[in-house]
């Protein structure tokens, strides 16, 4: 014990000595009054500014401390949050429209090539179709000769019928033969036209300006193109992109063409990029007899010019701005989430079994009262205040001077590990 007091005495002597720590600190403060005052003022400004920014203030009442705010006036923008991807503005899947297997003659592009509208991507062998076309053309020539002869005979039989040299049945037989050959001629003309169209289809072309994003290598390597075979995908160039977003059917009624879209990509997670809603696509699986699983709509949005590189296929998190209200009354969303602990005296209880939004007002005597309110649009921080729906006495009117409770800190005594331990606050 004596040893302890000896050490304590040495410490006190060191601190209080003319050149000790306390003496030096005091001399510095006297010599640098402006510096000390500036530090104190900065600390005071920091504490005050914090309350001004949040609009909140603390009211301490014994064992707990309430955080309150009041009605403010400002802007609120309502958003629908969604996700999707960046896609080409146009994407064309190119197939063979031929109704037969045709050998490949020549491929003119490779993956990643830029192409123009009408540019030939693939050429197919025309020899078989040309043979078929030649056969049909010769048959058509013969049928047209037969048709001319049948017409001459029908005209002649008509004159003979008028003169009474042949019977009506003989004349009708000539007319019937003429009609039959005429039908055969028309059918052969259609066949000839079909083969001519097939010749044109042997040249697979790009319908748009863009880039070759897909080549069916399996088909190309086989040397043959089957019926309705998917051959290529051509996407619009990188400077012509769009947003393809998925929106729950419950929010689709709020979305209109022309609304602003903000989005972010993983490559630049803190940079806001923008676009505009240009189209709402009906869901393909919409069925009035389906179960109650949610229906999702595709929202197509344009992409504004950006100073970052965007590529098709990038995933995005997006927000569609539904509406903005300016200079409206608003309260923090934290006020709606506040649930008072039992330690706080409640003057007016909230209505039972209600989904009505409730806020709590600090009374002059330190108690709090529940105020049912009607709210409007909301964002991440604020909700629009519209009106008081009535309290237990149905007479309360909320003003911008009322203290709205947003939180509470309760100071609880815990088991002390030492005699110098302080109470630990519990925040709600």
The whole-angstrom separation of Cα 375 and Cα 391 is 16
User: Taking each helix axis from N to C terminus, what angle separates 21-31 and 33-54, rounded to the nearest 10 degrees?
Assistant: 80
Could you tell me which CATH class the domain 79-89+236-325 is placed in? mainly beta
Confidence at residue 418, expressed as pLDDT on a 0 to 100 scale: 43
Q: Name, in order, each residue with C-beta under 8 angstroms of 427's C-beta and a sequence gap of 6 or more.
A: 407, 408, 409, 410
Residue that has been written with the tokens 């005429």 in this structure: 182
Question: Which pLDDT belongs to residue 335?
Answer: 93
DSSP string for 265-325: ETTEEEEEEEEEEEEEEPPTT--TTS-SPPPEEEEEEEE---SS---TT-EEEEEEEEEEE
Fold of the domain built from segment(s) 57-76+327-412? 2.40.420
**Can you read off the two tokens belonging to residue 78?**
């309502």
- Radius of gyration for the chain, computed over Cα atoms and rounded to the nearest angstrom: 43
User: How far are the Cα atoms of 87, 175, 239, 271, 295 from residue 265, in angstroms, in the given order?
Assistant: 13, 76, 17, 8, 25
- Using CA of residue 223, residue 226, residue 230, residue 232, what is the dihedral sign? positive
Parts of the chain with a pLDDT under 50: 45, 48-54, 414-422, 427-428
How far apart are the C-alpha atoms of 275 and 244, rounded to whole Å?
11
pLDDT of residue 52: 46
Q: Where in the chain are the domains? A: 2-54, 57-76+327-412, 79-89+236-325, 98-234
Using CA atoms, how far apart are residues 176 and 153, in angstroms rounded to an integer? 11
pLDDT, position 12:
56
Sorted by sequence, the CB contacts under 8 Å of residue 341 that are 6+ apart come out as 64, 408, 410, 428
Contact 77, 380 (CB under 8 A): no
Query: Cα 390 from chain centroid?
Result: 39
The Cα 138–Cα 150 span in angstroms is 18
In contact, 45 and 54? CB cutoff 8 Å: no
The 8-class DSSP code of residue 338 comes to: -
For residues 262 and 273, is the Cβ–Cβ distance under 8 A? yes
135: tokens are: 């056969």
């Amino acid at each position: 014990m004596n040893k302890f007091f000896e050490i304590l005495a040495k410490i006190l002597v060191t601190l209080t000595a003319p050149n000790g720590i306390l003496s030096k600190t005091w001399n510095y403060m006297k010599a640098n009054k402006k510096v000390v005052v500036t530090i104190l003022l900065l600390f005071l400004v920091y504490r005050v500014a914090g309350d001004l920014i949040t609009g909140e203030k603390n009211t301490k009442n014994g064992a707990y401390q309430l955080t309150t705010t009041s009605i403010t006036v400002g802007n609120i923008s309502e958003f629908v949050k969604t996700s999707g991807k960046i896609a080409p503005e146009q994407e064309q899947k190119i197939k063979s429209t031929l109704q037969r297997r045709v050998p490949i003659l020549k491929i003119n592009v490779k993956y990643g090539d830029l192409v123009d509208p009408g540019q030939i991507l693939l050429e197919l062998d025309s020899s078989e179709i040309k043979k078929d076309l030649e056969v049909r053309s010769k048959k058509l020539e013969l049928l047209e000769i037969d048709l001319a002869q049948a017409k001459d005979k029908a005209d002649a039989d008509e004159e003979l019928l008028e003169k009474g040299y042949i019977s009506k049945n003989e004349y009708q037989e000539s007319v019937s033969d003429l009609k039959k050959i005429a039908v055969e001629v028309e059918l052969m003309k259609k066949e000839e036209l079909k083969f001519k169209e097939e010749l044109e289809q042997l040249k697979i072309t790009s319908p748009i300006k863009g880039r070759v994003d897909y080549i069916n290598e399996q088909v190309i390597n086989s040397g043959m193109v089957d019926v309705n075979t998917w051959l290529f995908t051509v996407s619009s160039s990188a400077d012509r992109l769009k947003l393809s977003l998925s929106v729950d059917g419950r929010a689709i009624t709020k979305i209109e063409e022309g609304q602003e879209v903000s989005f972010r990509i993983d490559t630049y997670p803190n940079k806001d990029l923008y676009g505009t809603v240009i189209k709402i696509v009906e869901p393909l699986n919409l069925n009035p007899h389906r179960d109650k699983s949610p229906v999702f709509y595709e929202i197509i949005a344009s992409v504004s010019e950006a100073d970052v590189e965007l590529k098709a296929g990038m995933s995005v998190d997006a927000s569609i701005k539904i509406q903005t209200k300016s200079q409206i009354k608003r309260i923090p969303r934290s006020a709606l989430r506040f649930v008072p602990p039992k330690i706080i005296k409640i003057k007016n209880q909230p209505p039972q079994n209600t989904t009505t939004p409730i806020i709590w007002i600090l009374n002059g005597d330190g108690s709090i009262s529940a105020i049912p309110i009607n709210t409007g649009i909301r964002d991440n921080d604020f909700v629009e205040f519209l009106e008081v729906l009535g309290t237990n006495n149905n007479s309360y009117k909320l003003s911008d001077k009322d203290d709205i409770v947003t939180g509470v800190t309760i100071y609880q005594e815990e088991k002390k590990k030492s005699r110098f331990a302080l109470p630990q606050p519990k925040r709600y």
